[in-house]
Amino acid sequence: MAGPGRHEIAAPADRHVRERRATRTIGLVVVVTLGIAMIAAGAVVAIAVLRDGGFGAVRGTAQAADYIDVSGGAMPIRRVPSSGSGPHAAAEEHLIMATITDLTTFWSDEMPGLTGRPFVPLAGGLTAMDSTAGTGSAPCVSSPSQIVGNAFYCPSDDGIVYDASTLVPVLLHRYGIGGLVTTFAHEFGHAAQAEMAGTAGGSTGGSTASPSDGSTDSHGSLLGEARADCDAGAFLAWVIKGHAAHVHLGEDALVDAVGPLLDFSDPATVSPSDPTAHGLALDRLSWVLRGYRGGATACRAMTTDTMHATLGEVASGSTSGSTPRFTSRRALLAAAEKSVWEFAAPADAATPDGAFDADVREATASGLLDVTAAHGQFAQATVLALTIGRQRSRTSTETACFAGAWVASVFGHAQPGSLGSWPGDADEGLAAVRAQPHVTFADLAAYADGFHGGRSACG
């Protein structure tokens, strides 16, 4: 949500110019080449997005990849301008229509239990806008330039508007079908919230959360975003269980599926009371997990007191911007080694003889110290925490949980200039976990569990 009357997947693009070395963000300058294969007559129509961003048509009911069955998608899409948004707009629209059909089914199942009323489908439908066009307007949008790289729910129209020329190709190219599905599940979550609150089709702005459910304080807008992320998680769980008629995803797709939400996160200097705030990447992951594990009921029950936002926990003034905390990698790793061992073995805080050099060699050999350098020094420190945690754990999830618990032990509790004293450190730790080869959604969840629950959550 980025202003009165609309609820976005993320703040506008210029909000994501990081004030520190940031986690990866969706770049808008991406060249995407999409190839569409012919579909045999009479086949079950399905489109699988290949990892290079292309489309592949497949026939039959057994699918080897995550895919969306595009047969039967009922909701039409209005194009602005009417000429379309590129040579593959029709194929992309079929993916979106099928996803919206499943989302409508999901909320038709959920809404009566939440409100005692049936779910009313989007009155304003879907609008695909070409952000490269010179002119054109859509609900909540007076100019194409206002929607570059974005999608949002417009409560005054009860519809979803999205950038078809930039956002959709980038989502498919970088995150595959899962990223596209999660993006629209988030926006549809705003629509569901508006219906629960009775504001769909008539809101003049502000959060979709109602005053009776804990959103009257200055963080009410952030609560709306937290619930939308949570709703996306609830929908993903429903899909993974095989309940969706069109969207078919396996658990292996979840890391990419949540990627857009984690990458479209706030700079750590944003105030949680900012009406455009969406939360840190760790926040957004935690909210997705709330819905994934607890369903839409857990999302509805979330309040500003129980959403547990990490954004704003450490004052933005505690960071010196782009100035590194440590003058050398060795100094950084020495500080990290001391901190992690104090956390791992508080009864004997001294680092075991020879452990530092051995840990640094292992971390260096993994290549992750170089990979995470762009994210910041705390991300590199977390690589060392993962290295030490791996020595004490049986599984990758226990390792990630250990790292999350260590991050929480220093985040907001450290002296100025030391590890854990910067507001973006929790996200840098998550970036280190995401950078691991073969990382799983369970690993990401374990990092969040360790951060919020400490070592007791690690099994």
Same-domain status, 332 and 238: no
Does pLDDT of 119 surpass 50? yes
pLDDT score of 213:
46
Tell me the one-letter amino acid at 227: R
Rounded CA-CA distance 10/16 in Å is: 9
Quick check: is 126 in a domain?
yes
Same-domain status, 297 and 326: no
Quick check: is 39 in a domain?
no
Same-domain status, 356 and 407: yes
pLDDT score of 44:
36
pLDDT score of 36:
25
Same-domain status, 287 and 225: yes
Quick check: is 257 in a domain?
yes
> Residue range 113-118: average pLDDT?
96
> Which of 301, 332, 347 delimits the end of a domain?
301
Same-domain status, 348 and 291: no
Tens of pLDDT along 24-83? 222 222 223 232 222 222 233 455 554 444 544 333 344 447 999 998 767 889 999 876
Tell me the one-letter amino acid at 383: V
pLDDT score of 83:
60
Same-domain status, 187 and 112: yes
Note whether 5 and 140 are within 8 A (CB).
yes
Same-domain status, 208 and 83: yes
pLDDT score of 9:
60
> Residue range 201-220: average pLDDT?
45
Percent of the chain whose predicted confidence (pLDDT) is above 90: 69
Which of 429, 198, 8 is CA-nearest to residue 209? Answer: 198
Quick check: is 20 in a domain?
yes
Same-domain status, 105 and 19: yes
Q: Which domain holds residue 109?
A: 7-32+70-301
Beta pairing, strands 55-58 & 46-49: antiparallel
Rounded CA-CA distance 248/227 in Å is: 23
Find the range with the poorest average confidence among 146-160, 225-239, 336-350, 439-453: 336-350
Does pLDDT of 359 surpass 60? yes
Quick check: is 103 in a domain?
yes
pLDDT score of 82:
79
Please report which confidence band the pLDDT of residue 113 belongs to, taking 50, 70 and 90 as the band edges: very high
Please report which confidence band the pLDDT of residue 204 belongs to, taking 50, 70 and 90 as the band edges: very low
Quick check: is 55 in a domain?
no
> Which of 236, 270, 301 delimits the end of a domain?
301
> Which of 252, 273, 301 delimits the end of a domain?
301
Please report which confidence band the pLDDT of residue 354 belongs to, taking 50, 70 and 90 as the band edges: confident
Does pLDDT of 294 surpass 90? yes
> Residue range 123-141: average pLDDT?
91
> Residue range 334-354: average pLDDT?
81
> Residue range 162-173: average pLDDT?
95
pLDDT score of 42:
28
> Residue range 325-351: average pLDDT?
87
Same-domain status, 212 and 261: yes
pLDDT score of 21:
28
pLDDT score of 54:
52
Tens of pLDDT along 247-287? 999 999 999 999 999 999 999 999 999 999 999 999 999 99
Please report which confidence band the pLDDT of residue 155 belongs to, taking 50, 70 and 90 as the band edges: very high
pLDDT score of 47:
53
Rounded CA-CA distance 50/59 in Å is: 15
Tens of pLDDT along 428-449? 999 999 999 999 999 999 999 9
Does pLDDT of 457 surpass 60? yes
Phi-psi region of 40 (alpha: psi -120 to 50; beta: other; left: phi over 0): beta
Q: Hey, which residues does 58 pair with through a beta bridge? A: 46
In total, how many domains does the chain have? Answer: 2
pLDDT score of 257:
98
Same-domain status, 91 and 240: yes
The side-by-side arrangement of strands in the sheet containing 7-8 is: 7-8, 151-154, 159-163, 125-129, 77-80
Which of 379, 411, 402, 396 is CA-nearest to residue 441? Answer: 396
pLDDT score of 220:
77
Please report which confidence band the pLDDT of residue 215 belongs to, taking 50, 70 and 90 as the band edges: very low
Residue tagged 């950084």 (tokens): 332
Tens of pLDDT along 376-391? 999 999 999 999 999 9
Which of 168, 134, 150 is CA-nearest to residue 30? Answer: 168
Does pLDDT of 218 surpass 70? no
Quick check: is 51 in a domain?
no
Angle at 121 between CA 131 and CA 214, to 5 degrees: 90
Quick check: is 45 in a domain?
no
Mean predicted lDDT score pLDDT of the chain: 83
Same-domain status, 296 and 339: no
pLDDT score of 249:
97
The encoded tokens of residue 16 equal 């994501």
Same-domain status, 369 and 437: yes
Rounded CA-CA distance 247/70 in Å is: 9
Please report which confidence band the pLDDT of residue 208 belongs to, taking 50, 70 and 90 as the band edges: very low
What would the 3-class secondary structure string for 326-395 be? CCCHHHHHHHHHHHHHHHHCHHHCCCCCCHHHHHHHHHHHHCHHHHHHHCCHHHHHHHHHHHHHHHCCCC
Does pLDDT of 298 surpass 50? yes
Does pLDDT of 214 surpass 90? no
